[in-house]
């Protein structure tokens, strides 16, 4: 399958999670998912990554409030197992990770039309937001929110 077809399949799978309630550490389509597990499930369910057979709960457990009290980049360690960080204009199928509080702790999948599909605490479900939505793209002081971009195909 071509990279373009794999990117399209990754996005299509992620879209099947739309409306799934936001639930920390869950990965049940229609039942609950958080932003990390949405990324993991969409990548695993399209064959882009494999969940370790000796650890089917990978990458859990993790604290849902980690980003409020610690600076260790746990979320980045999960995302870096999916793909490689890139510095370029976002493309559909890329994973974007935002810094929230003390570390990078929220992520989603870039889709067409400069939008991001993510399990969002604000809407309490998997939703699509404009990439430059104020709360995602900017800090409370109006400065741009730090983000990192990951390409799942760079390492393959």
Q: Where exactly are the structural domains of the chain?
A: 3-151
Residue keyed to tokens 């493309």: 91
pLDDT in tens, 62-79: 767 665 556 678 788 888
Record the pTM.
Answer: 0.89
**How many DSSP H helices and E strands does the chain contain?**
5, 8
Torsion angle in degrees (nearest 10) through CA of 73, 152, 33, 75? 0
Q: Which residues contact 19 (CB under 8 A, 6 or more apart)?
A: 30, 125, 126, 127
pLDDT in tens, 92-123: 999 999 998 888 889 999 999 899 999 998 89
* Structure token digits, residue 94: 């890329």
* C-alpha 88, offset from chain centre: 18
CATH class of 3-151: alpha beta
């Amino acid at each position: 399958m071509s990279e373009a077809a794999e990117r399209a399949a990754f996005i299509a799978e992620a879209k099947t999670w739309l409306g799934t309630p936001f639930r920390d550490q869950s990965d049940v389509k229609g039942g609950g998912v958080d932003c990390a597990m949405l990324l993991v499930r969409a990548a695993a369910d399209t064959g882009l990554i494999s969940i370790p057979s000796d650890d089917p709960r990978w990458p859990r457990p993790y604290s849902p409030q980690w980003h409020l009290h610690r600076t260790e980049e746990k979320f980045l360690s999960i995302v870096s197992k999916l793909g490689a960080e890139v510095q370029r204009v976002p493309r559909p199928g890329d994973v974007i990770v935002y810094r929230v509080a003390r570390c990078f702790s929220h992520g989603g999948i870039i889709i067409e039309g400069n939008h991001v599909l993510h399990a969002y605490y604000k809407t309490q479900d998997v939703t699509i937001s404009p990439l430059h939505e104020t709360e995602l793209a900017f800090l409370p002081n109006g400065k741009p929110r730090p983000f990192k971009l990951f390409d799942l195909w760079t390492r393959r």
